[in-house]
Amino acid sequence: MTTRRRVPRSATLIAGCVLAGLVLAVAVLSFFWLPYAPDDTSGDRLMPPGLPHLLGTDKLGRDLLTQLMIGARVALEAGAGSVLIGGLVGLAGGLAAGFATRWLDDTISALLDILIAFPTVLLAMLVTAAREASLGSAVIAIGLAMSAIVARLTRVLVKRVLAQDFITASRTSGTSWPRIILEHVLPNIWPTLSVNLALQFGLAVLAEASLSYLGLGAPPPNASWGRMLQEAQASVFIAPAGVIAPGVLLVVLVVGVNLIADGVRDVADPTRRRTR
Amino acid sequence: MNSKTTSLIGAALVLALALTGCGSGSSGSAGSSASTGGAGATAAYDPDATIEIGSLYEPQNLDNTAGGGQGVTEAFNGNVYESLFRLTDDGKVESLLAKDHTVSKDGLTYTFTLRSGVKFHSGKPLTSADVKYSIEKVTGPDSQSARKSSLSVIKSIDTPDDSTVTVKLSSKSISLVYNLSYVWIVNSQAKSLTTTEDGTGPYTLGTWKRGSSLTLERFPGYWGTPATNKQVVFHYFTDATALNNALLTKAVDVVTSEQSPDALANFENNGDYKVNNGQSTTKLLLAFNDRKAPFDKVLVRKAITSSIDNKKLLSSIWGKYGTLIGSMVPPTDPWYEDLTTVNPYDPNLAKKELAEAGYGSGFSFTLDTPNYDPHPTVATFVKSELAKVGITVNINVITADEWYTKVYKNRDFAATLQEHVNDRDVVWYGNPDFYWGYDNPQVTKWVEQAEQSDTADGQTELLKKVNQQIAADAASDWLYLYPQIVVASSSLSGYPVNGLNSQFYAYGIKKSGGRG
């Protein structure tokens, strides 16, 4: 038996990184180079894929590839923004609930349950009504909806860590609570939490696409994949590229992110690591 | 034992299947021979057919003076309710419940003689009291009718006898007869008209399943020519794609108004369907707030009008359908003229005009855009076109309710996109208080004079002047006129093809062959 410690590797992690990296590369590229200007309507209506428009054009004669590349930006921004809001708010709420007295804990839990039961679309409509239909509103709504899920998970994880003996030991040796959180609680809950956040990233990308599809996301002329799907829907039989292209990219990104989440879990959790 | 039971059940099943097979075979052949025989023996159409109509416009309620909306006009106008006059599908006004009418020399007194033998669906005969009641219902304080202001010239209505109505006006109104074609004659004793009806039309209301369908039944006691079908069912859809699929699967026979050209590919060059390209009265406007800088300057408005390639826009949205009009008047209005050359598409001219107006370096404005099709797409196009002449457009997407409050009521906007569905609505440019705030005293005067002209020619001449003037002033940018596309099964004939004010006369629709 060899006892040499190996760097954990995961095929799913690699596949996930390749898929999501592809979308990331497209998004980064879009800042430096685009086939056409975003609002260039010089093409004909619904041109099929070919030259000079690789993926064809939309109803207004805009280049589909250009729209798609900008859409990658929007999708990643939406995912990252939502995870940032959802992660921070959720972590804060979860920590508060985890450390709280019984009474406060129950109150926070009840609030979280209500928030989780609230459909994201309804939440988005409320945020949109209070602000305006924009990518920012959509991200806030998705982030808020996500924060409830993150908070509930964090609360459970925190409680589990706090019940451990080493915390009691730390406490009796006079360590302050903030230090315990930083040194013991966060490092212990992070592996599980990060996997969950990665999964939430994928869901947030889908949520943003759905909201934009419903007209609650980025307003025109911003190209969001959801908006592109909605605009191309009526012409799906005569110009399928308009629906297929953003649809495929959505799948690539979401599957990629989910594979990363799975991979991270495999790597981080020794019990799930497969022996070869 | 067990296996025996199983085989017995098996045998019984086989027998049963064989029997059903025989049964359905024989009844099937009997049915088909009956139907071909029937079709051959009777006239070319089935007088007892049910016409299935697909529409996106369900009524809000059944009263057009209580906010019933476009849907109730579509289902009831001319079908369930009739007026003194009828607006035909090609825009002419004919006598309907009024047999005759005379106008006094000063043009201020109209005397209408009612047709005799007309009965309401409840059985009560039509009298002049019902006509007076019906007109007052439209002009009354509770009325939400869009026609309320057009009829405000009516000073008094008298009913000297049961078949005569005398209407006195405070000033001359050449459009009175036309406007009366929108006034439904309702039984003055009828109650709860938002959920029931009592009209004189060729159909009575069958059932109305909210959110789903509305059924009209042929009225046996109709005074005129009976409907050429027995029953009409309006099926309501909220999604245009679902509606088109219903037509493809023959769940409906006809779609009253297609909203996208892309679905038409399924019906064109398909012998089972006929695509009718009719005239609509719906205009898409880029309406400026003419009160506010920079849109208070004619040159700025002209420049914007010249910067937008309406031809390309129309083909983007409607493919080969639709019409460019260059003004507010659709071809079905008597005062139509092609004014597309007044402010031609010419970005260089636009730049020159902008410089002359003092906006050579451009400016930016917010475009309030309703969130439903086609407005967001059009806004995107407008933004891209105006960027080429140095104007930055910020698109602000709003709901229909927000539009009503923010733009229509509070006039809190710079420019907006909106569709205007009515015919003969160029006269709104004569009202300086309208939401777009176009204020040209000469135009206001012409509109007033047109209404008071003695002859239709006089009216037409003045309204042509109005139309030319608003085009010269680029009061708004009239982007295009919608097409009115009615797609119907080829077994149907006699349906209206022009969507004038969204009415849809069903009484002449004939269905050949038959699905029972």
Residue B317 with chain A: CB contacts under 8 Å: 59
CA angle B57, B60, B61 (to 5 degrees): 125
B380, closest residue in chain A (CA to CA): A221
The domain of A160 spans: 11-25+63-272
C-beta atoms of B266 and A40 within 8 A: no
| Spatial CB neighbours of B342, under 8 Å, sequence gap ≥ 6 | B326, B327, B468, B471, B472
CA distance B386 to B389: 5
Q: What is the pLDDT of residue B18?
A: 38
| Average pLDDT score, chain B | 87
Return the percentage of chain A with pLDDT > 90, whole number.
Answer: 46
A57, closest residue in chain B (CA to CA): B316
Domain CATH for A235: 1.10.3720.10
Residue type, A254: V
B375, closest residue in chain A (CA to CA): A220
- Average pLDDT, stretch A14-41? 92
- Average pLDDT, stretch A11-35? 93
Q: What is the pLDDT of residue B335?
A: 93
Q: Which helix (H) or strand (E) holds B480?
A: strand B477-489
Tally of structural domains, chain A: 1
Domain contains A53: no
Question: For the complex shown, is ipTM > 0.85?
Answer: no
Domain contains A217: yes
CB atoms closer than 10 angstroms to residue B115? 18
Classify the C-alpha dihedral B116-B120-B125-B126 as positive or negative. Answer: negative
Query: In chain B, what are the domains?
Result: 46-80+201-272+490-516 (3.40.190.10), 81-180 (3.90.76.10), 280-483 (3.10.105.10)
Residue A233, chain B, CB below 8 Å: the answer is: yes
pLDDT at B139 over 80: yes
Residue A48, chain B, CB below 8 Å: the answer is: no
Starting from the edge strand earliest in sequence, which strands make up the sheet with B364-370, in order? B203-209, B213-218, B231-236, B50-55, B254-255, B477-489, B273-288, B415-420, B364-370, B392-398
Q: What is the pLDDT of residue B21?
A: 36
| 8 Å CB contact between B253 and B52 | yes
Q: A108-149, pLDDT tens digit by residue?
A: 889 888 888 888 788 888 887 788 778 888 999 999 999 999
CB atoms closer than 10 angstroms to residue A276? 5
Residue A240, chain B, CB below 8 Å: the answer is: no
Query: What is residue A3's three-state secondary structure?
Result: coil
Q: Give the gap in angstroms from C-alpha A60 to the nearest C-alpha of chain B.
A: 5
C-beta atoms of B384 and A235 within 8 A: no
Domain contains A51: no
Q: A26-39, pLDDT tens digit by residue?
A: 999 999 999 998 88
Q: Give the gap in angstroms from C-alpha B262 to the nearest C-alpha of chain A.
A: 5
Query: Dihedrals φ, ψ of A195, to 5°?
Result: -60, -45
C-beta atoms of B316 and A234 within 8 A: no
Domain contains A185: yes
